[in-house]
Structure 1
Amino acid sequence: MNKKLLLGLAASCVMGLSSTVWAADSGFGTPEEAKMMLEKAVAAVQADEAKALEMFNKGEGGFKEKDLYVFCGGPDGNFTAHPKLVGKSLKDLKDKT
């Protein structure tokens, strides 16, 4: 019984580690990386909003990593930071699916 439990636990660990390695090598950001980028973006906006938005738009300062990037929208519904959609309305976006 203990051998089966140990084998199952070992298999789970290997699968978990291999999926983490796959995510790291795939060019996709992890949820942890996204959260860290969000926290960094909030701190940048609090320090200097204009400079932060400029960095977000240029993808500088670590705000463009793998498939992760920061985007922002204003109260008017327009993008204030996005690699390609600055000034366009968030309301006009359509899901292509």
Structure 2
Amino acid sequence: MLRSFLAGVFAATITFTGGALAQASGTAPEAKALLEKAVTAVKADEKKAIEDFNNPTGGFRDRDLYVFCAGGADNVFTAHANEKLRGTKLADLVDKKGKKLGEELIKNAAEGKFAEVDYWFPRPGQTEPVEKVTYVTKAGGQICGVGYYK
């Protein structure tokens, strides 16, 4: 009986721990790695990459990490986890404390280098802003980024 009880506690602990880990936030190295993967995808096939970035099961979302991109002459969002932002201008994006986030992302994006931009933004599915840092770069005709929450 004790053996059954301990086995149950062990199984519950593993389940709880696994669930807790699955809910953990993405890290700076994970965000950078996801952006590197996105750049490779854009360079290989930009149209397919954008489709994959917008697809929740396209391989470019991990917990609270996701790829966003903006392109064209007006730097319009072509990809974002928040569907409401797609089709809007990146330059118009302002963080929850009034920082002209979109303009800073555009200014710092450069082919072949990752810049860091910090700001306040809610986690996916939430409304309360928290500190966030985004790695941003240019790839093909896109400005792309991946951010992580502090």
**2:35 matched to 1:45?**
no
**In the alignment, what sits opposite 2:79?**
81
Unaligned runs of 5+ in 2: 1-19, 98-150
**Aligned structure 1 segments of 4 or more residues deviating by more than 6 angstroms:** none
Identity, in percent, stands at 58
Equivalent in the alignment of 2:96: 96
Task: Output the aligned Cα RMSD.
Answer: 1.7
Whether the aligned pair in 2 keeps the contact of 1:55 and 1:63 (CA below 8 Å) is yes
Q: How many residues align?
A: 74
Displacement of 1:62 in angstroms is 2.3
Aligned pairs (5 A) from 1:1-97: 25=21, 26-74=23-71, 75-83=73-81, 84=83, 85-97=85-97
Q: 5+ residue gaps in structure 1?
A: 1-23
CA displacement at 1:36 relative to structure 2: 1.0
Normalized per residue, which structure has more helix? 1
Higher strand fraction (1 or 2): 2
Greater relative contact order, per chain length (Cα 8 Å cut-off, separation 6+): 2
User: Which of 63-72 and 25-34 deviates more?
Assistant: 25-34
Q: Tell me the distance in 1 between the aligned counterparts of 2:59 and 2:24.
A: 15
Tell me the distance in 2 between the aligned counterparts of 1:61 and 1:54: 8
